[in-house]
Amino acid sequence: GGNAGGGSGGAGAGGGKLRLAFVVNMPAEFWTIAEHGVNAAAAEVDVDVSFHVPAGGLVEQQKRILEDLVVKGVDGIAVSPRDAENMTGLLDKLVQHTLLITHDSDAPQSKRLAYVGMANYDAGRMCGKLVKSALPDGGKIVILVGTLDQDNAKGRRQGVIDELFGRSYDPTRFDAQGAKLAGGGYEVLTTYTTESQPQKCKANTQDALVRWPDIGCFVGLFEYEPPAILEAVRSAKRLGEVKIVGFDENDATLQGILDGHIVGTVVQNPYEYGRQSIKLLAKLASESDPEKRAALLPEGGFLDIPARSITAANVDEFWADLKQKTGR
């Protein structure tokens, strides 16, 4: 089946619309926002885009999807690799058949053309700043994260820790989950993994509140976590006294900020991940000469879509914009 002509970029040749694919790493609300961006771009530049979610969030499932897309002969793929380091070989194979870029999570060693997104480590440091603002005099902190085996999770967590402890900028550092961590007046008591289950996140938070009554702040790094933490703190009747810092833009998180129960959240811009990825792919596919195509790439192959801190100060404006973009 040598019908995957994307490698030579001859998209317009067949006469039909360009066919692009957007592949994410697991089912999550985060990606539904990206899907809106994808659709917006598809309308803007008039291409067909399909959207793919590995239902169990497994590397193996993502691999199947990518293989099948090659068979399908799509003109370009934007993927958020589930395990960048070890998927390099696979990604390099894809490059032979189609145009490939990464988004959200990069695979720098691979031959992908570009990366659209931000650095999770940087976002983590941003999150750390929020914690510092909540606990200016230091304090005890518990971090909750879905799983620790994903690059984005590791980066975020390390960013928070490094920022709190005032360490140097080093995205490759890794502190083990069970290690006792302290520095700069802050103490990270433990990191809980919550396995995509809000119920477990709530239980872990409750147990931490029992175990460390003097805890100062919870940090929830996955989208479903800040709301679950909020529920746990509420059930212990310690709202306001125990600080909460979050990640991503779950409705309940934003409401928590409005209500003053959550200090702030760090949001990426999934809408733009989706939109910019598709626009970039469409642009690349319209040019069949590799030389000229290279000129269309963003500088350093990195299209930066920075994260933002959302606090009581800017939550209204952000939320309104989000609602408008996603039509919620």
Partner 1 sequence: MKKILGLSLLIFVIALVTSLLTIDDAGRSLFLSGLNLENLATRVGLFGVLSLAAAFVIVTGGIDLSIGSVVCVAGCMLPWTLRDLGLPGVLGLLFVLAVTGLIGLFHGLLVVRLRLQPFVVTLCGLLLYRGVMRALAGDQSVGFRGTGEDLRWLATGRLPLFEGFGLPVPLLVLGLVGGFTAVLWHRTVAGRQLFALGHNLEAARLAGVPTGRLTILAYVMCSLLAGLGGCLFVLDVNSAQAASFGNFYELYAIAGAVLGGTALRGGEGQVLGIVLGASLMQLLSNAINLVADSNQLEFAIVGAVILIGAAVDEGLRRYLARRG
Residues between 72 and 131 that touch partner 1 (CB under 8 A): 72-73, 83, 85-87, 89-90
Helix (H) or strand (E) holding 190: strand 186-193
Shortest approach of partner 1 to residue 81 CB, angstroms?
11
DSSP string, 96-161: TTSEEEEESS--TTS--S-EEE--HHHHHHHHHHHHHHH-TT-EEEEEEES-SSSHHHHHHHHHHH
> If you compute the radius of gyration of the chain from its CA atoms, what whole number of angstroms results?
21
Of residues 83 and 303, the one with the C-beta less far from partner 1: 83
By the rule CB under 8 A, 29 interacts with partner 1: yes
Shortest approach of partner 1 to residue 119 CB, angstroms?
19
By the rule CB under 8 A, 27 interacts with partner 1: yes
By the rule CB under 8 A, 323 interacts with partner 1: no
Q: Which two tokens stand for residue 130?
A: 């929020």
Give the Cα separation of 266 and 76 in Å (integer).
30
Which residue in the block uniquely carries the two structure tokens 């909750």? 144
Shortest approach of partner 1 to residue 255 CB, angstroms?
8
Of the residues 46, 170, 241, 251, which one makes contact with partner 1 according to CB under 8 A: 251
Shortest approach of partner 1 to residue 297 CB, angstroms?
27
What amino acid occupies position 144? L
By the rule CB under 8 A, 12 interacts with partner 1: no
Task: Using CB under 8 A, count the residues that bind partner 1.
Answer: 76
Please give the distance of CA 84 from its chain centroid, rounded to a whole number.
Answer: 14
Of the residues 65, 118, 141, 310, which one makes contact with partner 1 according to CB under 8 A: 65
Q: Please list the residues that pair with 247 across neighbouring strands.
A: 266
By the rule CB under 8 A, 50 interacts with partner 1: yes
Scan residues 139-198 and list those touching partner 1 (CB under 8 A). Answer: 147-150, 174, 176-178, 180, 190-193, 195-198
Of residues 132 and 247, the one with the C-beta less far from partner 1: 247
Of residues 71 and 296, the one with the C-beta less far from partner 1: 71
Shortest approach of partner 1 to residue 171 CB, angstroms?
15
Of residues 148 and 239, the one with the C-beta less far from partner 1: 148
Scan residues 256-275 and list those touching partner 1 (CB under 8 A). Answer: none
Of residues 150 and 265, the one with the C-beta less far from partner 1: 150
Of the residues 186, 218, 224, 271, which one makes contact with partner 1 according to CB under 8 A: 224
Of the residues 43, 170, 184, 210, which one makes contact with partner 1 according to CB under 8 A: 210
User: In terms of C-beta distances under 8 Å and separation of at least 24 residues, what long-range contacts does 39-46 make, across chains too?
Assistant: 39/274, 40/271, 40/274, 40/275, 40/325, 41/274, 41/275, 41/276, 41/277, 41/278, 41/279, 41/282, 42/278, 44/275, 44/279, 45/278, 45/279, 45/282, 45/283, 46/17
Q: Which residues contact 235 (CB under 8 A, 6 or more apart)?
A: 202, 206
Of residues 176 and 295, the one with the C-beta less far from partner 1: 176
Q: At what angle do helices 251-259 and 315-326 cross, to 10 degrees?
A: 160
By the rule CB under 8 A, 10 interacts with partner 1: no
Task: Output the furthest CA–CA distance in the chain (Å, rounded).
Answer: 67
Would you say 81 and 87 are in contact if contact means Cβ atoms under 8 Å apart?
yes
